[in-house]
Chains A and B, each alone.
Chain A
Amino acid sequence: MSVFLKGRIVDFLILAVLSISTWLATYFARKGKAREIRPIPALDAIYEGVGRAAEMGRPAFMTPGAGDVGSARVIAGLAILDVMATQCAKLDVPLLTVFGQGALGAAEMIVAEAYRREGKPELYSPGKQVLFLSGDQYARTAGEAGLFQREKPALNVFVGDFYSEMLYIGEAGARVGAMQIGGTTQQLGIPLMAITMDYVMIGEEMFAVAASITRDPIQVGSIMAQDIGKIVLFSISIIGVIAMLVGSKIMIDLLSM
């Protein structure tokens, strides 16, 4: 009797390959063998956007959508919030954020810490900058649209969990002339972001925030591991397609082990 649950062996092997390649890539990166990674324009644009907000004397806005800290997309959003809050604190730009109830505490901690780190804790207003509008998708959307009309942010960043509401929020932001940056892995959200945003992080780009911003060799090494994982998975896909074309179901049988 197998100790594995049915259909989970290949899942486990893929996780093992990714974990080992992450460890190996970071090991080599520590020895100074990290490769350069391409810049992500949407991330670089965050700095430009905060600078723009400082010049215009308007606030910057960020939200990771509806999810809580259980969602990896929201964790990626929190990493971006950290970068944005630090930059806003440096340039004295008021930062407004809207979070779901599950990530509110973490967001408050990150924003307060960023202001404290920059030596400006007095600029952080608890309860006024990290906001909870509603747990309901469209009530939150309406609240954000209203917030844009009142506060007129110069920069809007949407990185996290977004669905059909993205079109409305993006449009509300575009109406007030904000520079807009988006990022999600939700298939429904990506095209809506492409329509309404100036910069879009598609798919896994949003998970590479720390590596792209800090250029830390260990972080960059883990991105190399990510590429190894992609090569493995796309090779499996190509072999599967060829096998199916010649009438063999070997890959389907293997993947369902």
Chain B
Amino acid sequence: MVSKVLYRTILPYVIFMICFVPVLSNYYFDVPILRSVETELRNWSTLIGLTAMFLGLANITIYYYREIKRRKHLEWQFGVYSIALTYAWIIYGLSQGGLTSPAYNEIYVFVKGHSEAAQIGLLTFFFVTAAFRTFRAKNMQALVLLIFAFIPFIGVAPWGEQIWSGWPAFSEWILGGITMAGSRAILIAASVGLVAMVVRIVLRYEKGGLIRG
């Protein structure tokens, strides 16, 4: 019981504080030793990230190897695809000199770029129905939203100025004045909430699942 509390609650908190204090202090104070401690911690963080990446690679290899071997779920086909593609990229990248190779970079950009374009293309249908949902004035709030959406909408259209010469300026005033004031108020309040949550975590008042350990 004691060891469980020690390993799951006290030890992570001690590690957190050891990392948190120098990094936070370095943000405010001009002290050389804090700067070097922060740099060192960041280097450790990179190393831990790289180690985690290798562990992740080993993990997905083992996981998909088992899935392919069992062929119990349909996902085993995706497993073949994932493992083949992952190792093909690694072997090709290493043989070509990694990121220094223009061919390797271009293949990456073209494959990723086209895949992303295909995904966004699929999602465009959702965009159309979402736009329809947006422009339904179900109640007074939705009507206000609709009106204030249409003013800048017409303001930036080339024919907006033809309807009324003051339209672009009016639209800019709504975006730069009313909208900006509202969004900054939300942003300031959210930032305060964020800082308060961090203070709660540091003082161990926060009771979320992550903190409970």
Given the contacts A5-B28, A187-B187, A195-B134, A78 and B193 also touching, CB distance less than 8 Å: no
Which of B86-94, B97-105, B112-120, B158-166 participates in binding chain A? B112-120
Within the assembled complex, what's the spacing in Å between the Cα atoms of A174 and B136?
14
Whether, in the assembled complex, A240 has its beta carbon less than 8 Å from a beta carbon of chain B, the answer is no
A3 engages B194 (CB within 8 Å) = no
Which of B36-44, B125-133, B168-176 participates in binding chain A? B125-133
Whether, in the assembled complex, B189 has its beta carbon less than 8 Å from a beta carbon of chain A, the answer is yes
| A72 to B, closest residue via Cβ | B194
B199 engages A19 (CB within 8 Å) = yes
Q: Which of B156-207 contact A (CB under 8 A)?
A: 183, 186-190, 192-201, 203, 205-207
| B196 to A, closest residue via Cβ | A226
The listed residue (B27, B133, B203) touching A22 by CB distance below 8 A is B203
Which of A50-58, A89-97, A200-208 participates in binding chain B? A200-208
Among B27, B28, B193, max chain A CB count under 10 A is at B193
A187 engages B186 (CB within 8 Å) = yes
B196 engages A229 (CB within 8 Å) = yes
B188 engages A237 (CB within 8 Å) = yes
| A233 to B, closest residue via Cβ | B188
Among B27, B30, B186, B196, max chain A CB count under 10 A is at B196
Whether, in the assembled complex, B110 has its beta carbon less than 8 Å from a beta carbon of chain A, the answer is no
A18 engages B196 (CB within 8 Å) = yes
Interface of B (DSSP majority class): helix
Whether, in the assembled complex, A40 has its beta carbon less than 8 Å from a beta carbon of chain B, the answer is no
A79 engages B209 (CB within 8 Å) = yes
Whether, in the assembled complex, A251 has its beta carbon less than 8 Å from a beta carbon of chain B, the answer is no
Please name all residues of chain A whose beta carbon is closer than 8 Å to the beta carbon of B203 when the two chains form the complex.
Answer: 22-23, 26
Whether, in the assembled complex, B33 has its beta carbon less than 8 Å from a beta carbon of chain A, the answer is no
B209 engages A18 (CB within 8 Å) = no
Whether, in the assembled complex, A11 has its beta carbon less than 8 Å from a beta carbon of chain B, the answer is yes
Binary contact readout A32-47 vs B (1 if CB under 8 angstroms, 0 otherwise): 0000000000000000
Nearest-neighbour CB distance to chain B for A95, whole angstroms, equals 13
A203 engages B210 (CB within 8 Å) = no
Nearest-neighbour CB distance to chain A for B188, whole angstroms, equals 5
B interface, how many residues as a size bin? 35 or more
Please name all residues of chain B whose beta carbon is closer than 8 Å to the beta carbon of A114 when the two chains form the complex.
Answer: 209
A78 engages B188 (CB within 8 Å) = no
Binary contact readout B23-59 vs A (1 if CB under 8 angstroms, 0 otherwise): 0000111110000000000000000000000001000
B208 engages A82 (CB within 8 Å) = yes
Given the contacts A18-B199, A187-B183, A226-B193, A2 and B123 also touching, CB distance less than 8 Å: no
B208 engages A174 (CB within 8 Å) = no
Whether, in the assembled complex, A155 has its beta carbon less than 8 Å from a beta carbon of chain B, the answer is no
The listed residue (B126, B134, B197) touching A172 by CB distance below 8 A is B126
Please name all residues of chain B whose beta carbon is closer than 8 Å to the beta carbon of A127 when the two chains form the complex.
Answer: 63
Please name all residues of chain A whose beta carbon is closer than 8 Å to the beta carbon of B120 when the two chains form the complex.
Answer: 138
Among B27, B127, B199, max chain A CB count under 10 A is at B199
Nearest-neighbour CB distance to chain B for A5, whole angstroms, equals 5
Please name all residues of chain B whose beta carbon is closer than 8 Å to the beta carbon of A187 when the two chains form the complex.
Answer: 183, 186-187
Nearest-neighbour CB distance to chain A for B193, whole angstroms, equals 3
A75 engages B195 (CB within 8 Å) = no
Whether, in the assembled complex, B147 has its beta carbon less than 8 Å from a beta carbon of chain A, the answer is no
| B122 to A, closest residue via Cβ | A142
| B124 to A, closest residue via Cβ | A168
A142 engages B123 (CB within 8 Å) = yes
Whether, in the assembled complex, B145 has its beta carbon less than 8 Å from a beta carbon of chain A, the answer is yes
Whether, in the assembled complex, A136 has its beta carbon less than 8 Å from a beta carbon of chain B, the answer is yes
Given the contacts A203-B193, A207-B196, A78 and B209 also touching, CB distance less than 8 Å: yes
Within the assembled complex, what's the spacing in Å between the Cα atoms of A101 and B29?
33
Nearest-neighbour CB distance to chain A for B15, whole angstroms, equals 13
The listed residue (A69, A168, A207) touching B193 by CB distance below 8 A is A207
**Can you give 19 A-B contacts (C-beta < 8 A)?**
A4-B29, A8-B27, A23-B203, A72-B194, A82-B208, A109-B209, A141-B119, A142-B123, A167-B130, A170-B130, A175-B126, A190-B186, A195-B133, A216-B207, A219-B205, A222-B199, A225-B199, A230-B192, A234-B188
New A-B contacts (11) at CB < 8 Å, excluding given A5-B27, A171-B127, A204-B193: A22-B196, A23-B203, A26-B205, A69-B210, A109-B209, A139-B119, A170-B130, A185-B193, A187-B187, A222-B200, A229-B192
What 5 pairs between A and B have smallest CB-CB spacing? Answer: A204-B193, A82-B209, A79-B208, A185-B190, A110-B209
